[in-house]
Amino acid sequence: MIVAAINMGSGFDIFFNGPGLMIVVGGTVAATLLTFQMKDVFSAFKAALFVFSEEKKDPNDMVFTMVDLSTLTRQQGIISLSRLNVDSSFLKKACNLISDGSKEELMRDTLNIEIESMKKRHYIIQDVFKKMALYAPAFGMLGTLIGLIQMLTQLSDPESVGPSMAVALLTTFYGMLLSTLMLNPIAGKLRARTMLEVINLEIIFEGSISILQDNNPLLVYEKLSSFIPATIRRPMKQKVLKNKYA
């Protein structure tokens, strides 16, 4: 709609200004690299690509995975968890802790540290885009001030004032567009995906504790399904995952 509105007006030609883009994009990137380590900036952009290219993990699937593992341990014992081949490194760690006969307190501490560490790593990635969203409008205003200063040196030519003013305001436009249409939404998307991942990890965490306490699969389901809103909660009778670990 923004593109259509511009096209319905005066077209795109007058909205392109090379020096303005250099100030806004270059300044934003430079300030970001001064704020964060290079590897954190690269990780942030890789995470953004991952979020927009990978499908979300349904918490319902994780609930039934833990129910399956609960059933497996009741049939074959907790030592069977050590032989599982699972994709999630967090779930693998939980299975190893259970199969090793770890105490509940040790298991809680270990898995809690893992969850908190993940939150901190993801916070840095989100903060990269949040800071960029702050820097872009600031450099847009800086570009506008540079343009106004250059314009004031040409006041002897009244016909050049209007076009020069338009060019000066373009940098503010670039900064606001980058901030509101790209950087802030990406930061929000990353935060939402982090929250979803935290829910999945907490399901694994509480499910592992339940398995350690030898809860039956129905109790495990009732406990873990509480993490999911009732409107999207999958009933146990409609379980999609089969006991692939048995």
Q: Which residues contact 72 (CB under 8 A, 6 or more apart)?
A: 80, 81, 243, 245, 246
Backbone angles phi, psi at 123, to 5 degrees: -65, -40
Mean pLDDT of 60-80: 88
User: What is d(CA 245, CA 181) in angstroms, rounded to the nearest whole number?
Assistant: 45
User: What is d(CA 26, CA 201) in angstroms, rounded to the nearest whole number?
Assistant: 38
Over pLDDT 90: what percentage of the chain? 48
Q: Which residues contact 31 (CB under 8 A, 6 or more apart)?
A: 131, 135, 139
Question: Please, are residues 93 and 110 in contact by the beta-carbon 8 Å criterion?
Answer: yes
pLDDT(245) > 60: no
Split at pLDDT 50, 70, 90, the class of 242 is very low
Split at pLDDT 50, 70, 90, the class of 237 is low
Split at pLDDT 50, 70, 90, the class of 239 is very low
Report which of 182, 157, 149, 141 is spatially closest to residue 20, judged by C-alpha positions: 141
User: What is d(CA 129, CA 188) in angstroms, rounded to the nearest whole number?
Assistant: 9
Question: Please, are residues 216 and 207 in contact by the beta-carbon 8 Å criterion?
Answer: no
Among all chains, which residue has been given the structure tokens 């898995």? 111
pLDDT(24) > 70: yes
Among all chains, which residue has been given the structure tokens 């907490």? 202
Quick count: other Cβ atoms within 10 Å of Cβ 126?
Answer: 19
pTM for this one?
A: 0.81
Quick count: other Cβ atoms within 10 Å of Cβ 95?
Answer: 24
